[in-house]
Amino acid sequence: MVSLTRTDAPAPETSPSPALTRMTVLVFAVTAGSSAAGNYYLQPLLHEVAADLSVSTASAALLVSAAQIGYLCGLAFLVPLGDFLRRHRMVPALLLASVAALLVSAVAPNFAVLFAGVAATGVAASAAQVVVPWASALADPARRGQVVGTVMSGLLLG
């Protein structure tokens, strides 16, 4: 018979923690929201980006697709790693990657560099989907619904 339990993977943070204060939950919510928001900062600026980089507005609109495709790749390939890797290391790494990608996007000298930066920002935005189950795992069972609801509210506001 095949056992479906993992014994060789590091134990995820599943035990309830008394340190999950309201402030910690707020930090989780802001983290989820700001991580997801990185995918959308560029949308109202597409006309200006097109003019600055001398590309058509239709070409500039491809940046929105790049962000969403990057996010899809992050959801498919990075978020599942949250069940195997330590989330308290994974989330900061994704946030640092997001900062780096946003900086690349901010100083992009041409459309190709901006496209790559936006796609990388999309991949790193998947941190939001790692934060939600992390908060749930840390929450006291009696408060789990409230904690997840608060973090999801932050995600949706982002």
Q: What pLDDT does residue 18 have?
A: 55
pLDDT for residue 11 is more than 60: no
Residue range 60-86, pLDDT digits in tens:
999 999 999 999 999 999 999 999 999
Report H helices in the chain. Answer: 22-37, 46-52, 57-77, 87-106, 111-124, 128-138, 144-157
Instruction: Return the domain boundaries, the chain.
Output: 22-157
Please say whether the beta carbons of 126 and 75 come within 8 A: yes
For domain 22-157, the CATH architecture is: Up-down Bundle (1.20)
Residue range 93-108, pLDDT digits in tens:
999 999 999 999 999 9
Cα dihedral: 109, 112, 115, 119 (round 10): -110
